[in-house]
Amino acid sequence: MLFKDIVGQDEVKERLIKSVSEDRIAHAQLFVGQPGTGKLALAIAYAQYIACQNRGETDSCGTCPACIKYQKLIHPDLHFVFPVNEAKKSGTSDKSSGKGSDAYIGIWRDRVLKSPYFTEQQWYSELGIENKMGIISTGEASEVIKKISFKSYESTFKVMIIWLPERLHASAANRLLKLIEEPPGKTVFLLVTEDQEKIIGTIQSRTQILKIPPIKREDIAQALVTRYDLSPQKGRDISRIANGDFQTAIGLALDTDTTPNFSFLRDLLRLCYSRNVLGLLSWVDKIVKLNREQQKDFITYSLRIIRESFMLNLGLDDIVYIAGEEEEFSKNFSPFINGGNVVKVYNEFNSAMLHITRNGNAHIIFTDLTMKLVKLINKL
Ligand SMILES: [Zn+2]
């Protein structure tokens, strides 16, 4: 992965490049940032830059033997650890031998090479465990210790990238402590986290922390125009909603009329407005058939539309970013989402999101949501 392929983050790139040119590469670094900021991509590009045999002032060469292996993520001195769920292993692991991350390395490489901007949930979908949480097990920690004890094969440095160290099992984290504090010579640990608070303090204090900020609006807008062929206006609109998160931006850019979210929400609000209880129960039956990732996607979409409807209600048409059928719909429904209920409606969707994320019972969560919406929309 080259730095130039990563959206924005110029200051972070400069800082990483400088650490290599000044020969002060910290042996354990914690990349901290919200989802969609490109943390993982930056860690990989940095590792490649360290390994590149012909590096330039601003990027790896992209053509030396090390770069060629890095671009397929198959360099023997590059190791990955990420959360998996072994319970599901028999059905989804690829043919490669090994335990933990090694058993899924093929799926991982495909996912990262397709686009390094993906969420934890999307990763679990790839593994077919969308309703479960992955972990980094104690067994995995033993594998890490084994891998690090070998000398590097081809590069000066061995690099161990741990994606989402907040998913380290407590005993796995403890096993890695000493290694992270004092790795054998020429080893670099790059920990990539979305939630620094969930990482045990003893690991945090042994790493050099690098904050990855949200991506600048203009960088997202530019990337949408050049990579996704959007008009400059649409690129700018989406970049404002995306809030520094390129993963969300891609989702919005690719959103087409084929998404079931629009019809799901339209049906829900119409049924709530007409207080059609039987209709609502069958709506719930339909949505619980979706997987958890799709349910969360629906809620995220709904939150966005509610916000836009409220803006229309306030007459702020010029800062509304929806178009076409959705816009018509919001115009029709904005009278029902108003200053009196918008916060409550929004909160109900947010609370449903929280419970879905915590693996609550989808049937109960969505039934509860619909009943509350009936009241809020009709101001009972
Ligand atoms: Zn190179």
From the first residue on, what is the mean pLDDT of each consecutive set of 10 residues in the chain (380 residues)? 97 97 95 95 98 96 97 96 77 58 95 93 86 88 89 84 95 92 90 93 94 96 93 83 84 64 85 92 93 87 82 66 63 74 92 92 96 86
The domain at 260-378 falls in which architecture?
Up-down Bundle (1.20)
Instruction: Report the separation in Å between the CA atom of 49 and the middle of ligand 1, taken as the mean of its atom positions.
Output: 7
Q: Please state the φ and ψ torsions of residue 137, each to the nearest 5 degrees.
A: -85, 170
Instruction: Report the separation in Å between the CA atom of 329 and the middle of ligand 1, taken as the mean of its atom positions.
Output: 52
Instruction: Report the separation in Å between the CA atom of 19 and the middle of ligand 1, taken as the mean of its atom positions.
Output: 17
Instruction: Report the separation in Å between the CA atom of 216 and the middle of ligand 1, taken as the mean of its atom positions.
Output: 28
pLDDT for res 203: 92
Label the pairing between strands 78-81 and 187-193: unpaired
Instruction: Report the separation in Å between the CA atom of 66 and the middle of ligand 1, taken as the mean of its atom positions.
Output: 6
Provide the H-helix boundaries in the chain: 10-21, 39-51, 65-71, 89-92, 105-114, 120-127, 138-149, 170-181, 201-204, 217-228, 232-242, 246-254, 260-273, 277-287, 292-313, 325-333, 342-357, 362-378
Instruction: Report the separation in Å between the CA atom of 61 and the middle of ligand 1, taken as the mean of its atom positions.
Output: 4
Instruction: Report the separation in Å between the CA atom of 2 and the middle of ligand 1, taken as the mean of its atom positions.
Output: 10
pLDDT for res 258: 42
Instruction: Report the separation in Å between the CA atom of 67 and the middle of ligand 1, taken as the mean of its atom positions.
Output: 4
Q: Where are the domains of the chain?
A: 3-211, 217-254, 260-378
Distances (CA, A) of 242 to 8, 237, 304: 14, 9, 11
Instruction: Report the separation in Å between the CA atom of 56 and the middle of ligand 1, taken as the mean of its atom positions.
Output: 9
CATH code of the region 3-211: 3.40.50.300
How far apart CA 363 and CA 367 sit, in angstroms, is: 6
Instruction: Report the separation in Å between the CA atom of 156 and the middle of ligand 1, taken as the mean of its atom positions.
Output: 13
Instruction: Report the separation in Å between the CA atom of 158 and the middle of ligand 1, taken as the mean of its atom positions.
Output: 16
Which residues, 6+ apart, have CB-to-CB distance to 102 below 8 Å?
Answer: 96, 143
Instruction: Report the separation in Å between the CA atom of 45 and the middle of ligand 1, taken as the mean of its atom positions.
Output: 11
Cβ-contact 188, 159 below 8 angstroms: yes
How far apart CA 74 and CA 47 sit, in angstroms, is: 13
pLDDT for res 92: 47
Neighbouring-strand partners of residue 210: 31
pLDDT for res 234: 82
How far apart CA 127 and CA 85 sit, in angstroms, is: 8
Which residues, 6+ apart, have CB-to-CB distance to 244 below 8 Å?
Answer: 34, 36, 37, 213, 214, 215, 216, 217, 220
pLDDT for res 257: 40
Q: What is the value of pTM for the model shown?
A: 0.73
How far apart CA 207 and CA 184 sit, in angstroms, is: 15
Residue 349 burial (CB < 10 Å; 0-12/13-18/19+)? Answer: buried
